[in-house]
Amino acid sequence: MFYTVEVAETKFTILRRYQNLKPIGSGAQGIVCSAYDSESGQNVAIKKLSRPFQNTTHAKRAYREFKLMRLVNHKNIIGLLNAFTPQRTLEEFQDVYLVMELMDANLCQVIQMDLDHERMSYLLYQMLCGIKHLHSAGIIHRDLKPSNIVVKSDCTLKILDFGLARTAGTNFAMTPYVVTRYYRAPEVILGMGYTDNVDLWSVGCIMGEMIRGTVLFPGTDHIDQWNKIIEQLGTPSPEFMQRLQPSVRSYVENRPRYDGYRFERLFPDMLFPADSTEHAKLTAAEARDLLSKMLVVDQEKRISVDEALNHDYIKVWWDASEVEAPAPAPYDHHIDEREHTVDQWKELIYQEVLEYESERNGFITAPPAPPPPPPPPPAQHNGPDT
C-alpha cells in the first residue's frame, strides 16, 4: 500500500497511487511535492508535515490546519483531497501527509506580471469570497500574504495555510510575532486586538503590491513597520490613540507626526493598467478608491469584507454561489485556546488522521480511541487567463 521515495533529501512514505514526486516548496511545517494521482488521473500537491508534534507550537498548528481543511468547502480555499500516515501505531506515529489540488503558481509570481484591471479585480474578488467564507464561521486568517495565495493559469485563486487562523470572539490575545510583518495590520502591530477586517488590511497590502510591483510597507521590525505605515498614510487621530494600551500610546504619540499623502500621489494613474473597455467600473480611479478604503489605519473606519465585495471595482464578478456560499460547519472555538502536552497533541492528531482515513478510504488501520464529535464532510473543490 505504501512505498518510500527520497525527494530533496526528505523521505516520503506514501500511498502507491501517488507517483512521480517532485519538490515544489518547503517551509517550517515541512516540504511540498507535486505528484500524479494514478487513481483520479490528476496532478496533486502532497504536503508532508514532518514530525508535527516536535513541540507544542508545531503540534497545535498542525492539528488546527488539518481541522480547518476538513471544515471548509469553498472554491477559493484550498481543500483536502486526501490525508494519511504510513505509521500504524501511536508509538510509531511521526508523519502526516496532506494531499491537495495542485495549483500553478503563488501570488508572488503573479504580482510580477503586468495585470490588467480584469485580472486584478477578479483575483481580488476571489480573495474576498474566500475570506468571507472563513469569516462566516468566525475564522480569521490573519496571515494572508502573496505566498499563502495560489493561482492557476485560468486565473482561479485559492487561499491556503490555516495554521495561524484564529477565531473571532471575546479573546483577542495578541501574538504579533506569528504574522508576516509586511502585511500585518496596525492593530496587530500595536497590540490592540483585532476583528475580522484585520484580513482586509492584508488584502489592501496585496492589492497595493500588485499596482506598485513592490511591497508597500517593508518594515525591518515592529517599530520600522509602524513608521513605514504612518509615513505614507499619516499619523492616526487622537481617538485612535486613546484605544491604545498606555505604554504603546506613549511611544506612538512621541513619534514624529506625519500628515501622510493623498492616494492619488501614493498610487498615481501611471502605475495602473489602462482603464477597461469591457467594464466601465474597472478603472484606475475605482481601484484607487477601493485601496483607500482597505488601507485605513483605524480598523473601525476600514471597509468590511461585505462592503468590499459590493464595491464597484469588485462586484462586476458577483456570483451568489461564490459570495454567499454556505458557511463552513461549526468550528470548535476552543481549539485556539486549548493547551495540551506534546503527547496529547500527538494523540489528537493521530486520531484525526485515523478517523479521516476511515471515512475517506473505508479502512481502519488501528483501534481508535473514543472518537470526538463527528466532523463535517471533507472539503470539495471545484475568469480570465493569467
pLDDT score of 28 more than 70: no
Give the pLDDT mean for 51-80.
86
CA distances to 163, 166, 175, 371 from 141, rounded to whole Å, are 9, 6, 13, 27
Question: Higher-confidence residue: 376 or 27?
Answer: 27
- Are the C-beta atoms of residues 44 and 35 closer than 8 Å to each other? yes
Burial of 288 (0-12, 13-18, 19+ CB in 10 A): buried
- Are the C-beta atoms of residues 202 and 144 closer than 8 Å to each other? yes
Q: Which residues have CB under 8 Å from 114's CB, separation 6+?
A: 273
Could you read off the pLDDT of 156-203 as tens digits, one per residue?
999 987 645 554 433 333 344 344 689 989 998 898 878 889 999 999
pLDDT score of 370 more than 60: no
**Angle, CA of 330, 71 and 85, to the nearest 5°:** 135
| Catalytic center residues | 143
**In one letter, which amino acid is 122?**
Y
Q: What percent of the chain has pLDDT over 70?
A: 87
Give the pLDDT mean for 207-223.
92
Tell me the three state secondary structure of residue 36.
Answer: strand
- Are the C-beta atoms of residues 353 and 83 closer than 8 Å to each other? yes
d(CA 94, CA 346): 9
Domain topology for 105-323 = Transferase(Phosphotransferase); domain 1 (1.10.510)
d(CA 267, CA 314): 18
Report the pLDDT value the prediction gives residue 379, as an integer from 0 to 100: 37
Give the pLDDT mean for 118-125.
97
pLDDT score of 138 more than 70: yes
pLDDT-derived band at 9 (thresholds 50, 70, 90) equals: confident
β-bridge partners, 44: 35, 101
**Domain parsing of the chain, residue ranges:** 2-103+328-361, 105-323
Residue 293, Cα to own-chain centre: how many angstroms? 21
Q: Which helix (H) or strand (E) holds 33?
A: strand 30-37
Question: Higher-confidence residue: 114 or 331?
Answer: 114
Name the average pLDDT for the chain: 86
Report the pLDDT value the prediction gives residue 160, as an integer from 0 to 100: 84
d(CA 318, CA 40): 32
Give the pLDDT mean for 146-156.
91
- Listed residue (148, 54, 42, 156) closest to 99, CA to CA: 42
Report the pLDDT value the prediction gives residue 217, as an integer from 0 to 100: 96
d(CA 343, CA 55): 9
Could you read off the pLDDT of 310-356 as tens digits, one per residue?
999 999 999 999 999 998 877 776 776 778 899 999 999 999 999 99
Give the pLDDT mean for 128-152.
89
Could you read off the pLDDT of 283-322 as tens digits, one per residue?
999 999 999 999 999 999 999 999 999 999 999 999 999 9
pLDDT score of 125 more than 50: yes
Report the pLDDT value the prediction gives residue 233, as an integer from 0 to 100: 97
pLDDT-derived band at 232 (thresholds 50, 70, 90) equals: very high
Q: Is domain 2-103+328-361 annotated with CATH 3.40.190.10?
A: no
Least confident interval from 62-76, 193-207, 208-222, 363-377: 363-377
Report the pLDDT value the prediction gives residue 362, as an integer from 0 to 100: 60
